[in-house]
Amino acid sequence: MDIKDWSGLIAATFTPMQNNGELNISAIPSIVSQLLKEGAAGLYVCGGTGEGISLTNDERMAVAEAYISAANGKVPVFIHVGQDSLFAARELAKHAMEIGATGISAITPTYFKPTSTGALIDSLKVIVEGAPNLPFIYYHFPGKSTLQLNLNEFIEVASNELPSMYAIKFTDPKLHDLQSILHTSNHKIKVFFGTDEMLLAGLAVGASGAIGSTYNFALPLYSKLIEAWQNNDLAKAKYLQNLSVTLVNTFAPFGGIEGQKAIMSMVGMECGPTRLPLNRLTASAVEELRLKLEDIGFFEWGRP
C-alpha cells in the first residue's frame, strides 16, 4: 500500500502480558490474525494502549518485532518510539527501521517537556535521526504531554525542518485545532483521530482515519459508523457513535487500559493483565464489567 493512501481504522495494539507482568509475546500472532480478520487497516504498536512507556527498550523491540512479523506485510505497522530519553527513542526508531516498520511515531518527553515550538522540533529531530527515511507520525496528546503549543506554528516549522513528518495522531477534543492543522498544511499533513468516542466529529472536520484502542475489540461498530457517514446517513452514524460513547462510559470506571484488556480476553484475544503502575482488575471486577457490557448489548452490536 502506498503510504499516501493509508487511512481507515488502525488498532492501537495492546501488549500481552503474563500474570506476573512479564511479556507474553506468543499471544501476538493470534491477536493480529483476529484483528486482520475483522478488518483493521493497520497497527500502531507500543503507544499508550500498548503500555510502551512502561516497557524497557529491549521489551519494546521484542513487541515491535512480533507485531511486524505477525502482520507479515498485510497491513502497515507503525511503531511508537517516544519516551523521555530522546537518545533511547532514537535507538527505538533505528530498530523499527531495521525490522521493516512502515513508519514511526512519538509523543514528546513528558517529564522534562519542550517549552517552545523550537525545542519540540529539535526534540523530534533527534528521534527521527534514527529512521530518517521512514514516515513519522507526531503524537499530539496534550492530555498526557500537557503541551499547549501553537499548532499552526508547529506545522509551519515542521514542514521545513521535519521532512519525514507524514501525519499527526490527534488525541484531543479541540476539533478547531484539527481543522487548523489541515488548513495550515494545505492537507499535506494527514490527521488520524485518536478519540474513539468522537470519531464521527473527527471525520466531519477532515480526519483521514483513526488510531485508537477500541478498534481492537469493537471494530465492526466503527466500520458501520464510517459506512453510514460515507453514505450520508447522519442519523445512523450518530446512533452508532452514541453506542461508542456508551461503551467507553461502561469500561472507563474500571480503568481505561485495564478495562479494555479485560474486554480483549472476553472476545477471544487474551492480553493478560496490565503492568504496574496501572491497576490490576480482580476477577470479581472483570465479571462485573462483563455483566455491564451484556446489559448494554455490546456483544451484539460491537462484535462481528
pLDDT for 48-75, tens place per residue? Answer: 999 999 999 999 999 999 999 999 999 9
* Residue 38 DSSP SS3: coil
DSSP code per residue over 243-287: HHHHHHHHHGGG-HHHHHHHHHHHTT-----PPTTS----HHHHH
State the pLDDT at residue 147: 81
Kindly report the average pLDDT of the chain as a whole number: 95
Rounded mean pLDDT of 209-213? 96
Per domain, the residue ranges of the chain are 3-222
Task: Give CA separation, 4 vs 76, 185, 207, 271, in Å.
Answer: 12, 15, 14, 32
Over 70: is that where the pLDDT of 83 sits? Answer: yes
Which helix (H) or strand (E) segment holds residue 94: the answer is: helix 86-98
Q: What is the pLDDT of residues 17-49, one digit of tens each?
A: 999 999 999 999 999 999 999 999 999 999 999
The x, y and z cell numbers of residue 185, run together, are 498544511
* Phi, psi (deg, nearest 5) at residue 275: -105, 145
* Residue 303 DSSP SS3: coil
State the pLDDT at residue 5: 63
State the pLDDT at residue 1: 47
The x, y and z cell numbers of residue 20, run together, are 506476573
Rounded mean pLDDT of 271-280? 94
State the pLDDT at residue 250: 98
Rounded mean pLDDT of 115-140? 96
Q: What is the pLDDT of residues 160-196, one digit of tens each?
A: 999 999 999 999 999 999 999 998 888 888 999 999 9
State the pLDDT at residue 186: 85
Peptide bond into 273 cis (omega under 30): no
State the pLDDT at residue 86: 97
Spatial separation of the C-alpha atoms in residues 184 and 225, rounded to whole Å: 28
13 among the known binding-site residues?
no
Spatial separation of the C-alpha atoms in residues 119 and 123, rounded to whole Å: 6
| Proportion of the chain above pLDDT 70, given as a percent | 98
The pTM for the full model equals 0.96
Over 90: is that where the pLDDT of 126 sits? Answer: yes
Over 70: is that where the pLDDT of 209 sits? Answer: yes
Per the DSSP assignment, residues forming a β-bridge with 23 are: 17
State the pLDDT at residue 144: 85
Q: What is the pLDDT of residues 101-118, one digit of tens each?
A: 999 999 999 899 999 999
Spatial separation of the C-alpha atoms in residues 216 and 271, rounded to whole Å: 11
211 among the known binding-site residues?
yes
For residues 180 and 148, the answer to whether their CB atoms sit within 8 Å is no
Query: Known catalytic residue: 74?
Result: no
Spatial separation of the C-alpha atoms in residues 30 and 269, rounded to whole Å: 7
Phi-psi domain of 158 (left: phi exceeds 0; alpha: psi -120 through 50; beta: other): alpha
Rounded mean pLDDT of 117-128? 96
Identified catalytic residue from 139, 166, 215, 222: 139
3-222 folds as: TIM Barrel (3.20.20)
Per the DSSP assignment, residues forming a β-bridge with 43 are: 11, 77
- Count the Cβ atoms, other than its own, within 10 Å of residue 249: 12
Based on its alpha-carbon atoms, the radius of gyration of the chain, rounded to whole angstroms, reads 18
Within 13 Å and on the Cβ side, how many CA atoms surround 95?
Answer: 21
For residues 156 and 172, the answer to whether their CB atoms sit within 8 Å is no
* Phi, psi (deg, nearest 5) at residue 135: -55, 140
Q: What is the pLDDT of residues 218-267, one digit of tens each?
A: 999 999 999 999 999 999 999 999 999 999 999 999 999 999 999 999 99
Phi-psi domain of 2 (left: phi exceeds 0; alpha: psi -120 through 50; beta: other): beta
Alpha helices in 15-116 (DSSP H): 28-37, 57-71, 86-98
Identified catalytic residue from 94, 169, 190, 261: 169
Query: Known catalytic residue: 139?
Result: yes
Residue 7: pLDDT band (50, 70, 90) is confident
